[in-house]
């Protein structure tokens, strides 16, 4: 006769494993698996088919201090086995990051308790596909930042930057590499009530990243002054929206260093070569 178990009890078996994660002890997590358990982990290509291999995987994974939550679950119950498949989400205590994944747990009743016979975990495939964006949409990302400037709220502007952003500002020697430093810069800059306009733009699009570099001009509402500058924006797709990962802003150098020789345009070179030939 099979060991009876209900659907809710099958779902509760996840909490046994999740509780083992909370101990941060890889041996306790590995002990949740059956004698012949197999783990296909989220972030390792190597199937883990014995206690030592499973323990080794969690030795690294537990440094992130993960805690999981099931978002969607489908349960099947058999004779001394049960299956729970669906979607879960982990919160990593070490960083605060949240990551969704797909899971399959197959449990077997072994030595008087339910153990994980098979565990397959994988990333959400659509979240890892490239986020499509057009050249015009990249250029319009500037307006999100510009609109944040218009609020005159340094917090609103700083939130346009990604978690690992770096700002090299126009009028500060200090690289701004975290939220607090970026916000601090705009506390001062926003007193000028700046509003920007792109004069020249050059866009490049990659896989979940894009860049817009060129020349912009600011009108300072506090004084009426107009100031041109050179800009580089590198955007990344993060947490469901485009954020500024790198922003480099600099003064127009010829105003300080003197005019530089202008580049010779290709069509002019062609005409000169044609005359020589």
Please write the tens of the pLDDT for every residue from 26-46.
Answer: 999 999 999 999 999 999 999
* Average of per-residue pLDDT across 109-126: 94
Report the sign of the C-alpha dihedral through residues 19, 120, 90, 81, in that order: negative
Domain that holds residue 208: 135-257
**Which value, to the nearest 10 degrees, does the dihedral of the CA atoms of residues 154, 159, 163, 167 take?**
-50
Does 263 fall in a domain?
Answer: no
Count of C-beta atoms within a 10 Å radius of residue 78:
12
Cβ 106 vs Cβ 117: under 8 Å: yes
**Residues 251, 141: one domain?**
yes
**Residues 252, 162: one domain?**
yes
Residue finishing a domain among 96, 127, 158: 127
**Residues 23, 119: one domain?**
yes
Residue finishing a domain among 127, 162, 189: 127
pLDDT at 136: 96
Taking only the tens place, the pLDDT of each residue in 158-186 is: 999 999 999 999 999 999 999 999 999 99
Taking only the tens place, the pLDDT of each residue in 62-99 is: 999 999 999 999 999 999 999 999 999 999 999 888 99
pLDDT at 241: 93
Strand order in the sheet with 98-110: 33-40, 113-123, 98-110, 81-92, 66-77
**Residues 80, 145: one domain?**
no
Does 149 fall in a domain?
Answer: yes
Report the sign of the C-alpha dihedral through residues 171, 174, 177, 179, in that order: negative
Does 271 fall in a domain?
Answer: no
pLDDT at 261: 73
Label residue 103 by pLDDT band (50, 70, 90).
very high
Does 275 fall in a domain?
Answer: no
Count of C-beta atoms within a 10 Å radius of residue 8:
9
Chain centroid to CA 17: 27
Residue finishing a domain among 104, 127, 150: 127
- Which of these ranges, 74-83, 105-114, 137-146, 260-269, has the smallest mean pLDDT? 260-269
Of 196 and 240, the structure prediction assigns the larger pLDDT to 196
User: What are the backbone dihedrals phi and psi of residue 70, each rounded to the nearest 5 degrees, phi first?
Assistant: -80, 130
Q: Is the pTM of this model over 0.75?
A: no
pLDDT at 61 over 60: yes
Total tally of structural domains belonging to the chain? 2
Give dist(CA 244, CA 200) in Å, integer. Answer: 19
Domain CATH code at residue 98: 3.10.450.50
**Residues 123, 142: one domain?**
no
Does 266 fall in a domain?
Answer: no
Return the bridge partners of 76, or none. 83
| Parallel/antiparallel/unpaired status of strands 226-238 and 209-220 | antiparallel
**Residues 41, 77: one domain?**
yes
**Residues 146, 236: one domain?**
yes
pLDDT at 141: 98
Label residue 131 by pLDDT band (50, 70, 90).
confident
pLDDT at 147: 97
Does 66 fall in a domain?
Answer: yes
Cβ 61 vs Cβ 75: under 8 Å: no
pLDDT at 126 over 80: no
Cβ 48 vs Cβ 54: under 8 Å: yes
**Residues 238, 141: one domain?**
yes
Using alpha carbons, list the distances in angstroms from residue 47 to 29, 40, 64.
16, 5, 21
Does 73 fall in a domain?
Answer: yes
**Residues 112, 214: one domain?**
no
Residue 54, SS3? Answer: helix
* Average of per-residue pLDDT across 21-30: 98
**Residues 11, 111: one domain?**
yes
Using alpha carbons, list the distances in angstroms from residue 273 to 146, 172, 261, 263, 267.
45, 46, 20, 16, 10
Label residue 262 by pLDDT band (50, 70, 90).
confident
Give dist(CA 104, CA 122) in Å, integer. Answer: 9
Taking only the tens place, the pLDDT of each residue in 206-258 is: 989 999 999 999 999 999 999 999 999 999 998 889 999 999 999 999 877 67
Does 273 fall in a domain?
Answer: no
């Amino acid at each position: 006769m099979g060991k009876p178990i209900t659907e809710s009890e099958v779902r509760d078996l996840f909490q046994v494993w999740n509780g083992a994660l909370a101990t941060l002890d890889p041996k306790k997590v590995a002990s949740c698996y059956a004698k012949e358990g197999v783990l296909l982990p989220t972030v390792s290509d190597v199937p883990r088919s014995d206690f030592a291999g499973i323990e080794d995987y969690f030795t690294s994974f537990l440094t992130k201090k993960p805690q999981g939550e099931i978002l969607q679950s489908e349960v099947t119950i058999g004779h001394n086995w049960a299956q729970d498949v669906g979607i879960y989400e982990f919160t990593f205590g070490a960083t605060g990051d949240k990551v969704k994944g797909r899971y399959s747990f197959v449990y077997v009743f072994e030595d008087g308790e339910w153990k994980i016979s098979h565990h397959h975990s994988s990333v959400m495939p659509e979240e890892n596909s490239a986020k499509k964006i057009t050249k015009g949409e990249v250029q319009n990302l500037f307006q999100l930042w510009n609109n944040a400037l218009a609020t005159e709220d340094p917090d609103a502007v700083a939130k346009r930057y990604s978690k690992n952003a770096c700002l090299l500002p126009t009028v500060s020697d200090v690289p701004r590499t975290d939220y607090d430093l970026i916000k601090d810069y705009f506390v001062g800059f926003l007193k000028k009530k700046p509003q920007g306009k792109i004069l020249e733009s050059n866009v490049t699009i990659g896989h979940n990243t894009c860049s817009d570099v060129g020349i912009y001009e600011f009108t300072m509402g506090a004084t009426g002054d107009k100031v041109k500058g050179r800009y580089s924006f590198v955007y990344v797709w993060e947490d469901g929206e485009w954020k500024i990962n790198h922003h480099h802003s600099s003064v127009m150098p010829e105003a300080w260093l003197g005019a530089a020789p202008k580049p010779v345009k290709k069509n002019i070179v062609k005409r000169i070569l044609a005359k020589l030939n």
